[in-house]
Amino acid sequence: MRPIIPDYLAEVLGDVESDTSGELAEYIPELAAADPERLGAAFAMIGGEVYGAGDIDIEFTIQSISKPFAYALALADRGFDSVLAKVGVEPSGEAFNEISLESGTGRPLNPMINAGAITVHSLTGAENLNPGERVDRVLRGLSAFAGRRLRMDEAVCASEMENAHRNLAIAHMLRSHQVLTEDPRPIVDGYTRQCSVLVTTRDLAIMAATLANRGINPLSGEQVVPEAVVRQVLSVMFSCGMYDAAGDWATQVGIPAKSGVAGGLIGALPGQIGMATFSPRLDSHGNSVRGVSLFERFSSDMGLHVMEVPAAARAVVRSNHVVGNGPNAPRVLQLQGGIGFAGAERIIQEAEGIPPSDARVALDLTRVHSIDDVARRMLLEVARRLTLNGHEVYLVDPESIIPDPDPGDGGRVTVVADVDHAAAHTATAGGGHIR
């Protein structure tokens, strides 16, 4: 069988190839010399599979796509409070290099505009690092996201530093507001180095997939940053990742994303996929023209908009009936699938209808493949209340989906391997395990 996903990617690349509108980033001379025809797209699944078409192994500089990852590192290294005290999370609706700070606090509005990203760079690593050690921390961190050792493009870095007047102006302004507390020049130099890290489209897809996969790199298995950090980063990418086009993007594409002026673009769909495209010509917002078209296609072709309402999950309660005869015959609520808040609510409704005459109630988790924290707590509360109402409660849980269940005050459950055990069990004073 020909591979389906690479064929799809090649077809979509073919559809956008003829669009030669947009300009290369002129303000960095090295980028102005890039080959404008390059075009590639890659998908990295959270299971570790990577699919691609076009120029996915050509290196280019990461530029602003480094910003969400550096933000993740700063949050992980310094904690939320220290970072949020210095950089806000409000969309600016302004260009990436706008010279503006939040009125009142003097904080940069968010970590995706340059003012925020320069500040974030200064917050990576431990507090006492010198500028060189900080760059090293960022390079190692980005490498962990990519799952391979990355390096910098010294020529692009030098070329940007020669023309970094605007970022230097921003940094001096940040220094005057005490947002930066060190000499601004080495910080801009470090930030520029961060932007000059070389990546391929394949690397970017894996980096995005690491965000989509709760911070765990799907190839190396490394937990690069904690889960709470990832949620913060994806939220900010969603609201601020595309500069002054963030609102259009959120409605039309609906994937947390980040673009860079070398032509890269990433998107991360939580729990599913990391995506990346590369095409150097930029629109007036500084986003890759063909990259934006590609993401519009991915979103609509595959229903990847985060606000897309999923088809109603299959009923969590598969059946509800008494199994067998006699006084010990248990009423079995056979549950299935993945259980979250809404599924647990269905179980509560079902449990509320159980007649008091059913002495034994078995909650059968055999067909449940996952249960989230709130649903687990709700299910144990169901067990507790059933006990208080005089029922003997059994949890049929051969795979230990709920290890060591504790229904709390006055509740009692007996864990059994199958429904027959619930029927055959001789009730004792305490709950327990029967295997």
Q: Which residues are annotated as catalytic?
A: 64, 67, 191, 243, 261
Is residue 288 close enough to count as binding ligand GLU by CB under 6 A? no
CB of 65 to ligand GLU, least distance (A): 7
Dihedral sign for Cα atoms in the order 134, 139, 140, 142? positive
Is residue 260 close enough to count as binding ligand GLU by CB under 6 A? yes
Measured from the CB atom, is 114 or 279 closer to ligand GLU? Answer: 114
CB of 260 to ligand GLU, least distance (A): 4
The Cα-based distances of 238 to 130, 233, 269, 299 in angstroms read: 32, 9, 10, 14
Q: Which of 261, 266, 335, 339 binds ligand GLU (CB under 6 A)?
A: 261
The residues, any chain, with a CB within 8 Å of residue 145's CB and separated by 6 or more, are 69, 72, 206, 207, 210, 217, 224
Q: Cα–Cα distance between 383 and 372 in angstroms, integer?
A: 17
Measured from the CB atom, is 77 or 160 closer to ligand GLU? Answer: 160
Q: Which of 110, 119, 122, 167 binds ligand GLU (CB under 6 A)?
A: 167
What DSSP state is assigned to residue 361? Answer: E
Q: Cα–Cα distance between 138 and 136 in angstroms, integer?
A: 5
Measured from the CB atom, is 156 or 396 closer to ligand GLU? Answer: 156
Q: Which of 114, 122, 213, 232 binds ligand GLU (CB under 6 A)?
A: 114
Is residue 64 close enough to count as binding ligand GLU by CB under 6 A? yes
CB of 419 to ligand GLU, least distance (A): 59
Closest to 258 measured CA to CA, from 280, 272, 239: 239
Is residue 96 close enough to count as binding ligand GLU by CB under 6 A? yes
Token reading at 173:
């302004």
Is residue 8 close enough to count as binding ligand GLU by CB under 6 A? no
Is residue 43 close enough to count as binding ligand GLU by CB under 6 A? no
Measured from the CB atom, is 3 or 247 closer to ligand GLU? Answer: 247
Q: Cα–Cα distance between 328 and 48 in angstroms, integer?
A: 48
Token reading at 422:
């619930």
Helix (H) or strand (E) holding 202: helix 201-212
Is residue 184 close enough to count as binding ligand GLU by CB under 6 A? no
Is residue 97 close enough to count as binding ligand GLU by CB under 6 A? yes
Q: Which of 63, 143, 288, 334 binds ligand GLU (CB under 6 A)?
A: 63
Of residues 137-166, those binding ligand GLU (CB under 6 A) = 160
Is residue 287 close enough to count as binding ligand GLU by CB under 6 A? no
Q: Cα-flanking dihedrals φ and ψ of residue 113, to 5°?
A: -85, 160
What DSSP state is assigned to residue 21? Answer: -
Q: Cα–Cα distance between 23 and 1 in angstroms, integer?
A: 40
Is residue 286 close enough to count as binding ligand GLU by CB under 6 A? yes
CB of 283 to ligand GLU, least distance (A): 12
CB of 192 to ligand GLU, least distance (A): 6
Of residues 371-430, those binding ligand GLU (CB under 6 A) = none
Measured from the CB atom, is 259 or 272 closer to ligand GLU? Answer: 259
Measured from the CB atom, is 108 or 411 closer to ligand GLU? Answer: 108
The Cα-based distances of 150 to 142, 159, 164, 196, 385 in angstroms read: 7, 20, 23, 11, 56
Q: How many residues lie near ligand GLU (CB under 6 A)?
A: 11
Measured from the CB atom, is 34 or 216 closer to ligand GLU? Answer: 34
Q: Cα–Cα distance between 61 and 151 in angstroms, integer?
A: 10
Residues 430 and 414: beta-carbon distance below 8 Å: no
Residues 278 and 261: beta-carbon distance below 8 Å: no
Residues linked to residue 434 through DSSP beta bridges, in sequence order: 416
Q: Name the site residues for ligand GLU (rule: CB under 6 A).
A: 63-64, 96-97, 114, 160, 167, 195, 260-261, 286
